[in-house]
């Protein structure tokens, strides 16, 4: 389980936290006072948020959940630290006052707590949606490379091998090529893609069509359209679309298909 693997360093550091806290309390009966500047609290909160986003791959919902888990961990660690302070000989603090002291009265103690909080990020990220994210990463298609293709049509057909991809069309100038549902009529896909781009004014756009979706992407004079049978797999459309936009000179690929739209009309 990825959550258990990620929890190991947090458990070890929590043990180290307890040992160092015990040593710190045994060094003197009177609690030292080193107030925590407001800037430190703000900086730690910002660092927690950035760490949460990094641990979740900038997925907003998971990032917020992990951030809240980190704040909860901070509160729990401060409570444990406050209980230890309150129980220390000569501490003269009740539990609420010791809790506040743990958060704002002693900077080294707060930084020690934050070390445990930072390791909570990968733990929470692994437990909350970690398995789904791993499956999603494993199910991402391998984008074909033009150098590996035997012909231009083979290049396009490989782009349609992923089950969720119904069709792919590429347009450059007056030329259009397609695979999947657009193999016989890539021009229609290109016309619709140009219409979407003209209407939105964006370099990329995902048009939801019920359960299906149409992803349109452009770079320089190339337009790529990707048809999905399931709109929930929009990440696949984006990966394929942007990768095909950055592909090399398509006209240099060997074999038939690279002039599919140039065949004369009957």
d(CA 239, CA 217): 10
b/e sequence 251-264, b meaning 16+ C-beta within 10 Å: eebeeebbebbeee
pLDDT tens, residue by residue, 53-107: 888 777 788 888 888 988 998 898 888 877 777 776 666 677 888 888 888 887 8
Quick one: fold of 146-262?
A: Beta-Lactamase (3.30.450)
- Evaluate if residue 258 carries a pLDDT over 50: no
pLDDT tens, residue by residue, 157-203: 877 877 788 899 988 878 888 888 988 888 888 888 888 888 888 88
Q: Considering only CA atoms, which of 138, 158, 141, 131 is closest in space to residue 236?
A: 141
**Taking the CA atoms of the chain, what radius of gyration do you get in angstroms?**
28
pLDDT tens, residue by residue, 106-121: 787 788 888 888 878 8
Predicted TM-score of the model (pTM) = 0.45
Q: Where in the chain is the domain with CATH 3.30.450.30?
A: 146-262
């Amino acid at each position: 389980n990825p959550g258990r693997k990620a929890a190991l360093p947090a458990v070890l550091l929590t043990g180290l936290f307890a040992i160092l806290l015990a040593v710190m309390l045994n060094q003197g009966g009177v609690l030292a006072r080193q107030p925590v500047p407001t800037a430190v609290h703000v900086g730690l909160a910002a660092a927690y948020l950035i760490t949460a986003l990094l641990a979740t791959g900038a997925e907003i919902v998971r990032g917020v959940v992990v951030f809240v888990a980190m704040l909860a961990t901070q509160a729990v660690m401060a409570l444990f630290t406050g209980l230890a302070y309150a129980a220390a000989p000569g501490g003269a603090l009740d539990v609420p006052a010791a809790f506040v002291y743990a958060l704002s009265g002693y900077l080294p103690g707060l930084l020690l707590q934050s070390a445990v909080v930072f390791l909570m990020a990968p733990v929470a990220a692994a437990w909350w949606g970690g398995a789904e994210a791993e499956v999603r990463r494993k199910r991402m298609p391998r984008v074909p490379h033009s150098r590996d293709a035997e012909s231009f049509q083979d290049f396009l057909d490989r782009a349609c091998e992923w089950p969720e991809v119904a069709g792919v069309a590429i347009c450059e100038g007056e030329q259009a090529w397609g695979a999947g549902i657009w193999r016989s009529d890539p021009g229609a896909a290109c016309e619709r893609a140009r219409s979407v781009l003209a209407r939105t004014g964006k370099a990329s756009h995902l048009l939801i069509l019920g359960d299906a979706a149409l992803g349109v992407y452009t770079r320089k004079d190339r337009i790529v359209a990707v048809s999905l049978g399931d709109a929930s797999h929009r990440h696949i459309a984006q990966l394929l679309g942007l990768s095909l936009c950055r592909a090399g000179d398509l006209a240099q690929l060997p074999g038939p298909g690279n002039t599919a739209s140039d065949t004369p009309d009957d």
